[in-house]
Structure 1
Amino acid sequence: MTQDGPPIRDAATIILLRRTGAGVSVLMGMRGAGAVFMPSKYVFPGGAVDATDATAPLAAPLPEPHRGRLLQQPRPGSIPDPDAIAAAALRELAEETGQLIGRPGRSDWPGFAEAGLCPDASSLTYLFRAITPPGRPRRFDAHFFLADAASLATDPDDFSRACDELSHLHWVPLADARALDLPFITEVVLAELADLVAGLPPDAPLPVPDTVPFFDNRTPAPRFAQIA
């Protein structure tokens, strides 16, 4: 911990979007009551970027413009690694939900190895970025990605391989999600998502946002920016 509080770590989150004739839903789960960070809150699957994420093979990398956007406005003294951040998002999704986004190939990661898959970042869309404000027990430079449930290589209703970090995993109708007990930033991300997919047909590709909203709270004076 530094004089100003805990260090800011890169983190990655995946918002899985499921579109059917019945409507649009997102995959969410609840953090444990004893969790240090955001206890008892409903969140998307995600977590901190680990050192091993930088060396994890990907079947396909994160495409542009998302890759270039991840490199913009870095923290002083930090060089973002788009491949590591995207890999972390796919790893956390697999660990916390048992859901896999991958292509046939080799991987040492649990879940992927057994399924004969290699993590695939090509279907991820960079949607949002937020840095945890000062004064929190943990601080993250969190990157939110959007993925269509159609890109899953697994049964979207099977959570039997999930770890116990998130409970009550289920698909929440997008219109109802903001009524859950959510962290503030999750509410903001859901609003951005709702605007992005409003009126989108179930079989249409997910659109690329014009810009990525960035809640920059690295200092006590918050700053809001748009990453183009």
Structure 2
Amino acid sequence: MADSTRDNPGADDLKLVPAKDPKKKAVVPRHAASLIVWRQARAGEPEILMGIRHSKHRFMPDVLVFPGGRVDRADHGVKAASELRPETEALLRHRAKPSLARALGVAACRELHEETGLLLGEKTGGRLLADLAALDYLCRAVTPPTRSMRFNARFLLAPADAVRGEIAGSGELEQLGWYPLSQARGAKLADITRKILGEFAEWLAMPAAGRQSRPKIVYRGNDNRLSDE
């Protein structure tokens, strides 16, 4: 059985570099995807599926996060239940090759299932077929070059009604559940997660027809919000 405290995105194959050694080259960021699954609660406040990373993780321990992880080699070229919508694919392709753009969507769906037990897609013969058409694109964030573990993470969204199954965590994320947006923003978070929640709130407040025309945003350096055009 896999160790539930192993870092994900998996960084055990990264060449770790001391963060404050100016003579060392920065680690190349690994491609990763996080999935914001959300629903509109009866009280009117949106709720987001999140969990707390295990205290034994080297990367972001004890903080509230979205399901997600790095893109694996096996995420490329696999069958899917549906394909990315053209507008979502175009946004993912903006800073990625076509095969990687699709693999990012597959990784988001796979990590959701591995970490929460929920399915965005279907399972056939033990294989996950991702429902890529359910995904929307929000933004991306690149870990600062001074860090020894770096990721180029894309943040994707999916409505809760596209997901099925019961929450059954793997142990990697604890206290999995639906967090009201205000509660999530007040929890122990990494700075970048807090800023992504702000991006989500802005996205949700927009008319659905205008969401795809939002400016492309990337967070770099010390979580600086920059244009990704």
How do residues 29-44 of structure 1 correspond to structure 2 at under 5 angstroms? 29-44=51-66
Is 1:147 the equivalent of 2:158?
yes
Contact 1:130–1:143 under 8 Å retained in 2: yes
Q: 2:110 aligns with which of 91, 104, 123?
A: 91
Percent identity reads 34
Contact 1:6–1:139 under 8 Å retained in 2: yes
CA-based RMSD: 2.6
- State the TM-score, normalizing by the size of structure 2: 0.81
How do residues 1-228 of structure 1 correspond to structure 2 at under 5 angstroms? 1=15, 3-23=24-44, 24-74=46-96, 81-103=100-122, 106=124, 108-109=126-127, 112=128, 118-154=129-165, 158-160=166-168, 162-198=169-205, 207-208=211-212, 210-217=214-221, 224-227=226-229
Q: How many residues align?
A: 207
Paired letter, 1:42: L
Contact 2:192–2:223 under 8 Å retained in 1: no
Q: State the shift of 1:207 in Å.
A: 4.3
Distance 1:56 1:80, change over 3 A: closer
SS of structure 1 residue aligned to 2:133 = coil
Distance 1:171 1:31, change over 3 A: same
- Looking at structure 1, the residues matched to 118 and 223 of structure 2 have their Cα atoms a distance apart, in angstroms, of 38
- Looking at structure 1, the residues matched to 124 and 137 of structure 2 have their Cα atoms a distance apart, in angstroms, of 25
Distance 1:57 1:179, change over 3 A: same
- Looking at structure 2, the residues matched to 126 and 84 of structure 1 have their Cα atoms a distance apart, in angstroms, of 14
Paired letter, 1:106: T
- State the TM-score, normalizing by the size of structure 1: 0.81
Answer 1 or 2: which has greater helix percent: 2
